[in-house]
Amino acid sequence: MTIKRRHFLIGLLASYWMMHQMAWAEPSCRQRALLIGVNQGGIVGTTTDVLLQKELLTSRLGFNRSEIVTLTDRQASRAEIEGAITEHLIKETAPGDRVLIHFSGCGTIVGEEPCLLAGDGQVIPLSTVELWLRSIDTDRLLCVIDAGYRYPGRPIVGNFRVRSVPWNGPGRLTPAEISYQERLKASLPAQSKPGIVLQAADTNQICAEATWDNFSSGIFTYVLTQQLWQMITPEALNNVQDMMRQLSLETPPLSQEQSFWQGLNSPEVGDAVILAGEGKSGELWLGGIPFYALSYYSPGSLLKTPRQLLQIKARSGLTAKFEVVGGTLPLQVGTLAQEESRTLPRNINLMLAMDMGLSRIERVDATSALSTIARTTGVTAGEQNADCVFGKDEGRYGLFTRGGVPIVDSFGSADESVSAALRRLRPRLESLLALKLLHLTLNPNSSYLGFQARINVQPSNQADSFTLFQTSTRRSPQYAPTRLPNHSLTIGDQLSCQLQNLTDTPLHIRIFCVDASYRLMSPSFVIPPYASDNVVPAQQQLIIPRPNAPVNWSVASPQGNFEVLIVVSRSPLKAITDLMAQTTGQPTNGMQVFANPLPIVLALLQDLDQGGNEDTWVLSMQKWATIGFSYRVV
């Protein structure tokens, strides 16, 4: 029997890929982890956090499942946690080993001491946690804490459930705890170090979890693991902080110290991993799919392994059933899969949560008023995924972000009724829906287009310019990690966008901006009469605005978070170009504000659609890329 040359080469390449992945997954140092998740105080997502971290460790960081200890809920008592730290980590770890500890749950403050709550309700002071970390004799140590300490006075903020509880016990640490700490100090290694600690919140910040689509999780854990799926370097933490800001949550500075990450070389891009397979069917873990898109990730979406093309048949939360529609068998559990096309439903609504501070009558009135507003659905805050929140601030009705931050210029007068407020807010709700649809196109780690973007800033009060943002698509031939210096901009600063086409065909672009009041706009110099600036020629660079253009891109009010999304396409964006050409109104600060943003974004999706039908859009990773970032205007 002869083997066709093509099949031989496919098999050889697949074997090489698997050998490369196995070599990457078997580092010279031992790797072990302790994952802790405690659901209490109304939170329910910590077991998902443990799964998110476990799949990341085994599928992307090369950890062996036998070296991962998990403790959840009542099993995660103070005694069990202390025992696992001592027996699994302190006694077993040698210098140079890689160790990860993850805690998800609630925290509190005892006196002035921030503490974690174990599954039996006992407190674990952070000062004790630090001594545990110093007792582990390795400099490759990472501790992730997805818990808060300050209780904001209510269990739900915006649409998020807070991960902190008030403390009603003694106002100081017990003598037994202090004595235990003294014993730990006496036995510390000579050169003890606390490792790297990444915290979702400090004592002045809110830590929260969210309900997504058929699952709940800690927001910090989900964002962190999703970003590390794509880039296993400390630079990924830049993206984590940016995405947390977009969700209206702040984190402490996230250390980019290199010790834990040394020797972890990321293999090929992976958006998912095969969990199980039999014949031509199997199950995927979708840990690397952007969370904006995951809730609407629909049957028909395609992912590719080195040997197969997989089509999604059904999805529930983070797992999906698939069938092989191309390539060769058998399926290999643990194989990474990359997005090939994304199928999205057309009937997507804005989900508007009713704030828990509203009375029952106010919520009933709001639900009735929403029935007259197209493509908007009301839900109860904290119980379902939502895009924004309707509530009151100082007696006036308006909108909040999902993280509970008031949306600028959305609040009316004190005598306004619920129904009148929602009628007034209808254009703002449409703008929020348009932004939601734009977010569904984000794919910087999955797109095949080679593309780089850099945003430079010329401050209004100094001579030297600086780079605000720099990134490239993950599959770019000249890939460079995202650079996001922690800069705030002031009104009057001048921006310029440097776009680099790394492909052999022209790329068509659109830039969208969203200010703190959630107005959707576009730089006026990428619409007529500057339509030629919509195209970046093959292997060339374009600067927007052009150095001698008669317009400026100026930072303007209001103060707050400002988001920029850059959409790039191989094909001309004809529908949106035609519609934008009909847009009237004078640009302000170089920006064209859309009075009716939803048709603009729907036209963009029409341009990007590659074979959908009346019910779905199908977006090909070969054809487009969307990258985004945010900054703060002060």
Q: For residues 509 and 499, is the Cβ–Cβ distance under 8 A?
A: yes
Q: Return d(Cα 107, Cα 46) in angstroms, integer.
A: 13
Q: Domain boundary at 261, 295, 313, which?
A: 261
Q: Domain boundary at 284, 310, 341, which?
A: 341
Full domain range(s) for residue 513: 439-633
**Is residue 430 situated within a structural domain?**
no
In a shared domain, residues 497 and 564? yes
Write down the pLDDT at residue 588.
Answer: 66
Q: Return d(Cα 620, Cα 601) in angstroms, integer.
A: 17
Q: Report which of 86, 280, 303, 258 is spatially closest to residue 184, judged by C-alpha positions.
A: 86
Q: Report which of 254, 268, 251, 432 is spatially closest to residue 351, judged by C-alpha positions.
A: 432
CATH number, domain with residue 158? 3.40.50.1460
Cβ neighbours for 178, distance < 8 A, ≥ 6 positions apart: none
In a shared domain, residues 250 and 285? no
Instruction: Give Cα 190 to chain centroid, integer Å.
Output: 39
Strand residue runs (E) in 180-332: 196-199, 208-211, 216-218, 272-278, 281-285, 302-304, 308-316, 319-327
In a shared domain, residues 47 and 166? yes
Write down the pLDDT at residue 141.
Answer: 96
Residue owning tokens 């890929």: 17
In a shared domain, residues 82 and 132? yes
In a shared domain, residues 167 and 48? yes
In a shared domain, residues 111 and 154? yes
For the CA atoms of 552, 557, 560, 561, the dihedral, rounded to the nearest 10 degrees, stands at -30
Q: Which helix (H) or strand (E) holds 380?
A: strand 376-380
**Is residue 19 situated within a structural domain?**
no
**Is residue 433 situated within a structural domain?**
no
Q: Domain boundary at 424, 452, 480, which?
A: 424
Burial of 350 (0-12, 13-18, 19+ CB in 10 A): buried
Helix orientation angle between 597-608 and 574-581, rounded to the nearest 10 degrees: 160
Burial of 61 (0-12, 13-18, 19+ CB in 10 A): buried
**Is residue 184 situated within a structural domain?**
yes
Write down the pLDDT at residue 125.
Answer: 98
**Is residue 445 situated within a structural domain?**
yes
**Is residue 17 situated within a structural domain?**
no
Reported as a single tens digit per residue, the pLDDT across 120-164 is 999 999 999 999 999 999 999 999 999 999 999 999 999 999 999
Q: Return d(Cα 222, Cα 225) in angstroms, integer.
A: 5
In a shared domain, residues 599 and 552? yes
In a shared domain, residues 530 and 629? yes
Write down the pLDDT at residue 239.
Answer: 85
CATH number, domain with residue 325? 2.40.10.170
* DSSP codes joined into one string, 133-148: HHHS--SEEEEEEE--
Write down the pLDDT at residue 41.
Answer: 86
For the chain, counts of helices (H) and of strands (E): 13, 35
**pTM score, two decimals?**
0.92
- With a cut of 50, list the residues of the chain below it in pLDDT: 1-26
Reported as a single tens digit per residue, the pLDDT across 463-474 is 888 888 888 888
CA distances from 234 to 101, 264, 450, 467 (A): 16, 11, 23, 19
**Is residue 565 situated within a structural domain?**
yes
In a shared domain, residues 410 and 458? no
In a shared domain, residues 99 and 201? yes
In a shared domain, residues 71 and 171? yes
In a shared domain, residues 494 and 385? no
Domain count, the chain: 4
**Is residue 124 situated within a structural domain?**
yes
